[in-house]
Structure 1
Amino acid sequence: MLDESLLDDPEALARADRRGLLRGAAEAGARVRTAARHAAEAGVTDLEPEGRPRAVLVAGPGTASTGVADLVGSLAGASAPVVHLHSTGVAPAAGALRWALPGWCGSVDLLLIATTDGSEAGLAVLAEQAYRRGVTVVAVAPQRSPLSEAVDGRHGLVVPMATAPHDLYDEEGQAASPGTLWALFTPLLVLLDRVGLITAPADTLQKVADRLDDIAERCGPAVATYSNPAKTLASELADTMPLVWTEGTAAAPVGRRFAAVLAELAGRPALAGELPEALPAHGVLLAGDLAGGADPDDFFRDRVEEAQALRARVVLLRDRPAGGLTAAPAARELALSHDTAISELEPQEGTELEALAELLAVTDFAAVYLALATGADA
């Protein structure tokens, strides 16, 4: 059950936030600025590429690294194929994850490694394999980590991950702070801008950092629920199964990340899908027991001793419409025709990266508030 009184009690939220998740979300703008500076100091802005890579491969464990791979793939679009490398299993002897390059990789390809830990032996082996095959390697990892030492210099370029003194890590070694995503993602934005796959100049990254700061003010613990979009969304998702429907290039990876973060931080199952494909794919759920009006038994029976029934709630994440067709009206009609409530988020005007940053920030804050108010972070 959601403790709504906790949402409007900043001191109680601070006591419940044992892993510093709210502080990590609030520091996302600062992480962007620090990470951009680290990328420049590492020499990324001085690179003189001889053309675009044929393909970009992204590797790394955990929700943050998976989110980075998804975001890179969405932003690069048709400029170059982006392949997210998944671990191929666990090495019997070392007990470490194994990674492998596709057979077609060669000197015209780019491997990006993003990790909050840096001690994964399998990633160091992957970097060595890439070096032997002539693949360019760029890694974002904690400074003085085994991976940084393995890659730096001879095997590729390393950008130290932007960390904070109070960063906390869970038992699997992954950073708990939502701001970690930007610490890993920002240096790769600088690099991909340099090689011509996306447009992310310094002034755009500054706007992204400013937008993240603005959302941190609007969604902070001291802002009451009625005027706080993240707290409002968290309270709306209580006792529901979120169906996260997205429309637009920036919204799609945000929706998938939101579903993953809800599971990881709040222990809440969620499904993400892109419009219009999500309508037939998830429509059957709205017509079943998850529908808002589904209650086959007597409405007047005593429910005091019963657990709250889980109902679906649609969360519609959209880029700002740029003209053309939209499936949003059909999504609203489908949800309301099945008595299913719907929450909507749409970013303010700005660049594609600013829109992405705003949606990421609000949904990250919402997941944290839901975790704290339901005791999932205890």
Structure 2
Amino acid sequence: MLDESLLDSPQGLAQADRRALLRGAAEAGARVRTAVRYAAEAGVNDLEPDGRPRAVLIAGPGAAATQTADLLGTLAGAGSPVTRLAPTGVAPAAGALRWELPGWAGSVDLLLIATPDGTEPGLSLLAEQAYRRGCTVVAVAPARTPLAETVNGSHSLFVPMATAPYDPDQPLAAASAPGVLWALLTPLLALLDRTGLLSAPPEVLETIADRLDAIAERCGPATATYSNPAKTLAAELADALPVVWTEGVSAGPAGRRFAAALAELSGTPAVVAELPEALAAHSALLAGPLAAGADPGDFFRDRVEEPPALHARVVLLRDRPIGGITAAPAARELALTHDTPISELEPEAGGELESLAELIAVTDFAAVYLALASGA
């Protein structure tokens, strides 16, 4: 059950936020600026790559690496060479995950290691294997960790992970917690800008930080629910199964990130799909027992002692459509035809990275508010 009164109590939210999730969301812009500075100090802006890499391989544990690879692959566009390396198993002795390079990986390929931990022995072994194969290795991880020592020892490029600017030793929370993604993603955006795979020069990264700061002000705990899109969305998702539909290049990875954050932070399951395919993929779901009007039991029975029934709610995340072509009207019609409520988020005008940052920031705040108000 969601305690909606908690949403409008900044003091109550602060007491409930034992994992500092709200602070992580508010610090996203500062993390981007700190990460830009760390990347520059590590020499990323001075790199002059001799052509594009044949493949960009990304390795790291859990949701953080998955989301980073998803975002970079989407931003790199059609024919993207970005591939995430999944763990190949568990080392019997240490019980730690291990990674392996593909057999074809060599000197024309780039290995990116992104982790909020840095103590994984499997990633250190992977960095050593890539160095022996001649791959270029770049790692983003906390400083003074075994991975940092391995990467620096092999004359590869290491970028310290940006933590809170006022507390460099503060540990980061769960992989889907606000702040972790931007701390890992920002240096890699700057790096792939230098390779020509995408466009993320320093001035664009600064606009991202500004947009994140603006969202933090609009969605912060001091802003009342009626004018706070993140609190409003969290309240709407109480006792609901979020059915996340996305439209637009930026919205796709933002929707997948939102589903992962809901699961990890509040234990809320969600399904996600892109329009227009979502209309066919989820039409049966909306017509079944999860529809808002569905109630297979006796209408007159006493429901006072029963928990609320779980019903679907569509969350439509939209980037601005190119050429005005959109499936949003059909999505609204399908939802309302099946008595399913719908929430919509659309970013303000801006570049692709700014739109992506806004969608991620608002949904991050919403996932945090849902976790805190539901006591997760």
Asked whether the two chains share a fold, i.e. TM above 0.5, the reply is yes
CA distance, structure 1, for counterparts of residue 334 and residue 155 of structure 2: 53
Q: Give secondary structure in 2 for the equivalent of 1:139.
A: strand
Deviation at 1:129, TM superposition (A): 1.1
Name the structure 1 match of 2:144.
144
- Paired letter, 2:373: A
Counterpart mapping for 1:178-217 below 5 A: 178-217=178-217
TM-superposition CA deviations, 1:148-171 (whole Å, max 9, x none): 11011525100000012273456x
Contact preservation (8 Å) 2:163, 2:172 = no
CA distance, structure 1, for counterparts of residue 171 and residue 138 of structure 2: 25
Name the structure 1 match of 2:344.
344
| TM-score normalised according to structure 2 size | 0.97
Q: Find out whether 1:243 has 2:243 as its counterpart.
A: yes
Counterpart mapping for 1:122-271 below 5 A: 122-164=122-164, 165=167, 167-169=170-172, 174=174, 177-271=177-271
Contact preservation (8 Å) 2:63, 2:176 = no
Name the structure 2 match of 1:40.
40
TM-superposition CA deviations, 1:343-364 (whole Å, max 9, x none): 0000000010000000000000
CA distance, structure 1, for counterparts of residue 33 and residue 172 of structure 2: 22
Contact preservation (8 Å) 2:176, 2:264 = no
Query: Structure 2 vs 1, CA of residues 80 and 296 (structure 1 numbering), >3 Å: closer, same or farther?
Result: closer
Deviation at 1:131, TM superposition (A): 1.0
Structure 2 portions without partners, runs of 5+: none
Deviation at 1:79, TM superposition (A): 5.6
Deviation at 1:294, TM superposition (A): 0.5
| TM-score normalised according to structure 1 size | 0.96
CA distance, structure 2, for counterparts of residue 34 and residue 324 of structure 1: 37
Q: Give secondary structure in 1 for the equivalent of 2:265.
A: helix
TM-superposition CA deviations, 1:7-27 (whole Å, max 9, x none): 000000000000100000000
Contact preservation (8 Å) 2:177, 2:261 = no
- Paired letter, 2:365: F
Q: Give secondary structure in 1 for the equivalent of 2:323.
A: coil
Q: Give secondary structure in 2 for the equivalent of 1:127.
A: helix
- Paired letter, 1:269: P
Contact preservation (8 Å) 2:62, 2:175 = no
Q: Give secondary structure in 1 for the equivalent of 2:159.
A: strand
Deviation at 1:186, TM superposition (A): 0.3
TM-superposition CA deviations, 1:68-100 (whole Å, max 9, x none): 111011001136321111111110011110101
TM-superposition CA deviations, 1:234-255 (whole Å, max 9, x none): 0000000101110111110110
Equivalenced residues, count: 373
Q: Find out whether 1:82 has 2:85 as its counterpart.
A: no
CA distance, structure 2, for counterparts of residue 299 and residue 361 of structure 1: 41
Structure 1 portions without partners, runs of 5+: none
Deviation at 1:227, TM superposition (A): 0.2
Query: Structure 2 vs 1, CA of residues 296 and 80 (structure 1 numbering), >3 Å: closer, same or farther?
Result: closer
CA distance, structure 2, for counterparts of residue 167 and residue 303 of structure 1: 46
Q: Give secondary structure in 2 for the equivalent of 1:323.
A: helix
Name the structure 2 match of 1:364.
364
Q: Give secondary structure in 2 for the equivalent of 1:152.
A: helix
CA distance, structure 1, for counterparts of residue 323 and residue 121 of structure 2: 48
Q: Give secondary structure in 2 for the equivalent of 1:192.
A: helix
Name the structure 2 match of 1:14.
14
Q: Find out whether 1:96 has 2:96 as its counterpart.
A: yes
- Paired letter, 1:279: L
Query: Structure 2 vs 1, CA of residues 79 and 281 (structure 1 numbering), >3 Å: closer, same or farther?
Result: closer
CA distance, structure 1, for counterparts of residue 196 and residue 186 of structure 2: 15
